[in-house]
Structure 1
Amino acid sequence: MPAAAPEPAAPAEGDLDLAADQAIAACGGDAREAVKALLAANDFLEAQLDGLRKKVSAGYARGRFPGA
């Protein structure tokens, strides 16, 4: 039986702070605009993931994905 995949490591707090600073800077220093941009990017990625999940066969997914 194959070993379970390891859980992804949580990013270090300093990395998150740096990423947040970069996102805010990319939006001209406006934190609200940075949040809106990140939400839009997240929606786009979730839509892509949903599309890929629909393409995975039910046999391969073995019930792991709803709608697969």
Structure 2
Amino acid sequence: MSAAAETPAPDDLEAAADQAIVACGGDARQAVKALLVANGFLEAQVEDLRASVSAGYSRGRFDVPRDRKDWYD
């Protein structure tokens, strides 16, 4: 999935920025710091998830059934 597909509309970004600033008592610097901490947390989660996925599965070496209903029969 590309980053461009997940980019919110400009109006959504403005609203999200306003919400972050309001949540930090109107202090934009505190809002940026809070967002940096949240981003670091999310990056750590991504690394944990990457480590938990097997290399063979991520490279497509395992044949995963598309229709799981048939798989359980």
Q: Which runs of 5+ in 1 are unaligned?
A: 63-68
* Residue 38, structure 1, aligned to residue 43, structure 2: no
The equivalent position to 2:45 in structure 1, one of 35, 38, 48, is 48
4+ aligned runs moved over 3 Å, structure 1: none
The answer to which structure, 1 or 2, has the higher relative contact order (CA under 8 A, 6+ apart) is 1
Please, what is the CA RMSD of the aligned residues? 1.6
Q: How many residues align?
A: 58
TM-score by length of 2: 0.72
* Residue 10, structure 1, aligned to residue 17, structure 2: no
Could you tell me how far 1:12 is from its partner in structure 2? 1.0
Rounded to whole Å, the distance in 1 between the matches of 2:15 and 2:28 is 14
* Residue 61, structure 1, aligned to residue 73, structure 2: no
TM-score by length of 1: 0.77
SS, match of residue 26 in structure 2: coil
SS, match of residue 54 in structure 1: helix
Rounded to whole Å, the distance in 2 between the matches of 1:28 and 1:11 is 24
Q: Which has the larger radius of gyration?
A: 2
The equivalent position to 2:25 in structure 1, one of 5, 25, 28, is 28
Rounded to whole Å, the distance in 1 between the matches of 2:6 and 2:52 is 28
Q: Which runs of 5+ in 2 are unaligned?
A: 60-73
Identical aligned pairs, as a percentage? Answer: 66
